[in-house]
């Protein structure tokens, strides 16, 4: 069963900020990084459990696409994966 990937508005805001910064600092590689990131997220449709579970939150997981963590919620009943946040790995984990 292929899961549907949905993006929370917070995740979209994170992406906007990340890509804006990346275009400023690394204009020559931002597009390739974005393509690779979305290809990695697309894997979740077939392999929703590849992310690491978040302690204390059984439905939350995170997927490393260095240097970013992709935080997501898995809803097996709906067949959906909700992308919650994109978070730089050097930052403290977001509060859920």
User: How much is the pLDDT for 13?
Assistant: 96
Strands 68-75 and 80-88: antiparallel
Closest CA to 26 of 75, 54, 67, 59: 67
Mean pLDDT of 4-17: 96
* Domain spans of the chain, in order of start: 59-91
Of 3-7, 51-55, 57-61, 91-95, the one with minimum mean pLDDT is 91-95
d(CA 77, CA 19) in angstroms, rounded, equals 33
Q: Are 88 and 67 in contact (CB under 8 A)?
A: yes
**CA count, 13 A, side-chain hemisphere, 9:** 0
Tell me the pLDDT band of 79, cut-offs 50, 70 and 90.
very high
Give residue-wise pLDDT tens across range 55-66.
Answer: 999 889 999 999
For the question of whether the overall pTM of this predicted structure is more than 0.95, the answer is no
Beta strands in the chain (DSSP E): 4-7, 52-54, 57-65, 68-75, 80-88
Place of tokens 């590689």: 29
User: How much is the pLDDT for 46?
Assistant: 94
d(CA 7, CA 82) in angstroms, rounded, equals 6
């Amino acid at each position: 069963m292929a899961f549907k990937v949905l993006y929370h508005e917070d995740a979209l805001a994170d992406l906007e900020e990340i890509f804006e910064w990346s275009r400023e600092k690394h204009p020559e590689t931002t597009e390739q990084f974005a393509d690779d990131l979305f290809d990695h997220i697309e894997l979740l449709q077939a392999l929703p459990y590849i992310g690491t579970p978040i302690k204390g939150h059984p439905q939350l997981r995170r997927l490393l696409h260095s240097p970013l963590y992709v935080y997501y919620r898995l809803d097996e009943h709906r067949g959906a994966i909700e992308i919650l946040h994109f978070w730089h790995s050097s930052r403290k984990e977001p509060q859920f």
